[in-house]
Structure 1
Amino acid sequence: MANKRDELISHANQGLSKEANEGSVASFLAKTKLVRQAQAEKGLMPVSGRLIFAMDATMSRQPTWDVACSVQADMFEVAQLHGSLATQLVYFRGTSECRASRWTRSAKEMTGWMERFDCRAGRTQLGRILQHVKNEARQMHIDAVVYVGDCLEEDPDRIVGMADDIGRSGIPVFVFQEGADPMASDIFRQIARLTGGAYGQFDANAKSKLANYLKGIAAFAASGRDVTRLPDELRKQLPGPKA
């Protein structure tokens, strides 16, 4: 029969073995994550989802632009747990500038683009962004669109009509509004409803809320539109089962 000393040694060894195993698993997962990130950036992994990330870059948007830039790495990191996400940046600023980047699977590349630009005074050009989405949808499958803005200075009927077209293409648009401009709130909600997306609000004191939204949608797009990856506030707005 084993004495108490032997039992203590046995238990201690079991504890060490457990810690060693847990450490090995953690190390393996960390290495796997780095490999997946490297493969995604080099284009070696197949694209599992496509996300258009669109922003109002008029002058009032600079603080939000900076937050979105800072969360890009987190978005890609979360997305790569579920696949390989390709993202395209689209923005408008000034009186007539509206640009779209090439598609990328690199957080570093996306952040680099955003860091090159500053916001400039001008009027909203949401219609041009929605038209761009329609054009891209004719060329490839798009899993989600994110739009971040605060107001709307365009014909609401035209914007709603374009959103309806996008909805018929099966592309959910997630609209996030900073502040509470009432006319914009109404139209933004309609865009989300017509496309099968969702609407959210945040303010200058809740930037982490925007970061949470963006990371959730990145995971949603990369995982084949798995709604469980979305924050509850957004998931509950989607049509159909909420599993």
Structure 2
Amino acid sequence: MGGTLKTTNSSNEISAFIKQHKTISKVVKQQQRLLFVIDATASRQPTWDLACSLTHSLLHATDGLKGLTLKLCFYRGFEEFRQTDWLTDADILSRKMSSVRCAGGQTQIRKTLRHALSEHQSSPIRGLIFIGDAIEEPPHEIIDLAGQCGLRKLPLFLFQEGHNLGVEDTFQHMARVSSGAYARFDLGAPGRLRDLLSAVAAYAQGGYTALTQRRDDAALTLLEQLPKS
């Protein structure tokens, strides 16, 4: 008889666990997901501390937006690509960002976009934010992957640090074919950067309509590039 009671209790616990798991999964799927990717290769070392400080500000620009969850990814070194879990707390993301250090290595933008497409196929992502200063891979291959993102309704929001014209041209092309947007990661204008990410986050939550309800220059910068939907 004791054995029967134990089995019943165990069965109830399992049922409760499954119910809780389904509830959590439902909530997670309802959240709007935004992928945040940074280039942590050696070329960014000279301005890394300042860039990190601005990135913290960018992450905190998403605070107060309910239902938005972010994942931080970065690449560096020899094919090193790391990612966090999906998180809703900007403080946790900032602490994880603080632990990242630059290391020599090639850019991994192709791997980044393939990873994003895989994540998007598993559960839709509302957008990918990328901050970088270099491209060391065939541009046509990167643009092709960006086009695949566009076909799957995964817009790319590309922030360029520096003034390399080749990088600028490729980033702008990637933004166009993915139905995303391009902007400079201007270390001298932290307020504008914060406004831009806040605008991207608003777009991730409410789409084109949410941007039209804003009155700032950052929203206008995105509206001029994004397709109406």
TM-score normalized by structure 2? 0.78
Cα RMSD (Å): 2.2
- Distance in 1, matches of 2:122 and 2:27, equals 20
Native 8 Å contact 1:57 1:65 kept in 2: no
The offset of 1:196, in angstroms, is 0.4
Aligned residue number for residue 155 of structure 1: 138
What is the one-letter code of the residue matched to 2:211?
V
1:107 and 2:90 aligned: yes
Native 8 Å contact 2:131 2:158 kept in 1: yes
1:227 and 2:211 aligned: yes
Aligned residue number for residue 116 of structure 1: 99
Aligned residue number for residue 17 of structure 2: none
Match of 1:71 among 42, 58, 65: 58
Task: State the aligned residue count.
Answer: 196
Native 8 Å contact 2:202 2:211 kept in 1: no
Stretches of structure 1 lacking an aligned partner (at least 5 in a row) = 1-41
- Distance in 1, matches of 2:189 and 2:207, equals 29
1:47-66 → structure 2 map (5 Å cutoff): 47-61=30-44, 62=48, 63-66=50-53
The offset of 1:113, in angstroms, is 1.1
The offset of 1:120, in angstroms, is 1.9
- Distance in 2, matches of 1:214 and 1:179, equals 18
Match of 2:121 among 122, 138, 142: 138
Q: Percent identity?
A: 32
- Distance in 1, matches of 2:115 and 2:54, equals 24
The offset of 1:220, in angstroms, is 1.6
Aligned residue number for residue 194 of structure 1: 177
What is the one-letter code of the residue matched to 2:224?
K
Native 8 Å contact 2:131 2:185 kept in 1: no
Aligned residue number for residue 188 of structure 2: 205
Match of 2:167 among 175, 178, 184: 184
Native 8 Å contact 2:38 2:74 kept in 1: yes
- Distance in 2, matches of 1:208 and 1:144, equals 21
The offset of 1:45, in angstroms, is 6.5
Deviation string, structure 1 residues 113-159 (Cα, Å, up to 9, x no partner): 11121222222111111011111011001111111111211111110
Aligned residue number for residue 88 of structure 1: 71
Question: Alignment partner of 1:180: what SS?
Answer: coil
Question: Alignment partner of 2:63: what SS?
Answer: helix
- Distance in 1, matches of 2:58 and 2:116, equals 23
Change (3 A) 1:107 1:87: same
What is the one-letter code of the residue matched to 2:223?
R
The offset of 1:222, in angstroms, is 2.4
- Distance in 2, matches of 1:118 and 1:66, equals 13
TM-score normalized by structure 1? 0.74
Native 8 Å contact 1:43 1:105 kept in 2: no
Native 8 Å contact 1:48 1:224 kept in 2: no
Question: Alignment partner of 1:138: what SS?
Answer: helix
What is the one-letter code of the residue matched to 2:120?
A
